[in-house]
A and B are shown apart, each in its own frame.
Chain A
């Protein structure tokens, strides 16, 4: 089966610039997550969508980060303006969305470097 697709694979920007990441989840998966993984740390949940509605965005820095999932399929995560501390791998994951304790399927991630 096709996995979770993410693009771009790498992105280098200067601080204060804006950047956007794209994610296409596994077909039929209702739940979509964006995680931030800083080097040497575990993934940190930024936002969770159930179909096209936000379930949890409590750890999303809303002054600079935004995300949307129009039509309940693809999703984009945007950072504007970027800071040095935003350098990380941004992982998208999806799950069936039938309840808690489901297996998460991760994409390959977008490695962001902010200079």
Chain B
């Protein structure tokens, strides 16, 4: 089955700086890569996703890049703000009938004022 590795486990950045979270996956058939944000005590929510036919996608201050050859994808957050503090999870979906996602272990992003 799919295996998703995520780094770092904790990331602390100064407010206004950029943050980068990286993930690798094992199944070359994987074709969909979403990122979920989970604030303390709340449910995970989708913030951005990318499909295997695209190398990069951007939504305001958030961008995701995908390198299918190397089997890794990254989340980039620019001009970080206090409300960006949360745990971020990357995930991968392998092709086939089942739609369930395999999640990474999460990155706790801390925005320092």
What are the residues of chain B within 8 A of A107 when measuring CB–CB? Answer: 43
Contact code string A4-46 (vs B, CB < 8 Å = 1, else 0) = 0000000000000000000000000001010000001111110
Contact code string B69-84 (vs A, CB < 8 Å = 1, else 0) = 0000000000000000
> How many positions in chain B have a CB within 8 Å of any CB in the partner chain?
29
**Segment among B14-22, B55-63, B91-99 that sits at the interface with chain A:** B91-99
**CB within 8 Å of B: which A42-68 residues:** 42-45, 48, 55-56, 58
What are the residues of chain B within 8 A of A109 when measuring CB–CB? Answer: 43
What are the residues of chain A within 8 A of B51 when measuring CB–CB? Answer: 101
| A2 CB, min distance to chain B CBs, angstroms | 14
B112 within 8 Å of A (CB atoms) = no
Question: Do residues A45 and B32 form an inter-chain contact, with CB atoms below 8 A?
Answer: no
Partner of A91, one of B34, B44, B91: B44
> How many positions in chain A have a CB within 8 Å of any CB in the partner chain?
25
Partner of B105, one of A41, A48, A55, A99: A41
Partner of B32, one of A43, A44, A101, A106: A101
Q: Identify the B interface with A (CB < 8 A).
A: 1, 4, 6, 31-32, 34, 36, 42-46, 49, 51, 89, 91, 93, 95-106
Q: Identify the A interface with B (CB < 8 A).
A: 31, 33, 40-45, 48, 55-56, 58, 91, 95, 97, 99-104, 106-109
- Known pairs A45-B101, A101-B51, A106-B45. 13 more at Cβ < 8 A? A40-B106, A43-B101, A48-B99, A48-B100, A55-B99, A91-B44, A100-B96, A101-B34, A101-B49, A101-B93, A104-B34, A104-B36, A108-B43
